[in-house]
Amino acid sequence: MPTVYFVDADGNQFEATVDAGTNVMEAAVENFIDGIIGECGGVMSCATCHCYIPPEWQSKIPAPSEQEEDMIDMVLEPQDNSRLSCQIEITDELDGLVVHMPKTQF
């Protein structure tokens, strides 16, 4: 089972071990990790699962869709490495993935 490491805006790290096929937003919500809310449940209509993916992991996940990029345009403090965590499916190859969370989703 892959492990995902979540880092909040203060540098605190939390980990979640989840089944492959789970998305990053589900991993955070199911493991009670603050910082990723996922109000819409992962249907890409709220952007409250915004996160930052470090450069060393970006090539290991699919590029964002146009719809995801449009939603990212509406988040607070978007960066070049911004993603919606509901759109990142965890695979065995992503074991050890590091996800940074923004200061706020609102």
Query: What secondary structure does DSSP assign to 36-85, as a single string?
Result: ---TTSSSSSS-TTEEE--HHHHTTSPPPPHHHHHHHTTSSS--TTEEEG
45-71 confidence digits (pLDDT tens): 999 999 999 999 999 999 999 999 999
CATH number, domain with residue 45: 3.10.20.30
Token pair 């290991």 is at which residue? Answer: 60
* Domain hosting residue 48, numbered range: 3-100
Mean pLDDT, rounded, of the chain: 97
Task: Flag whether pLDDT at 106 surpasses 90.
Answer: no
56 is a domain residue: yes
106 is a domain residue: no
82 is a domain residue: yes
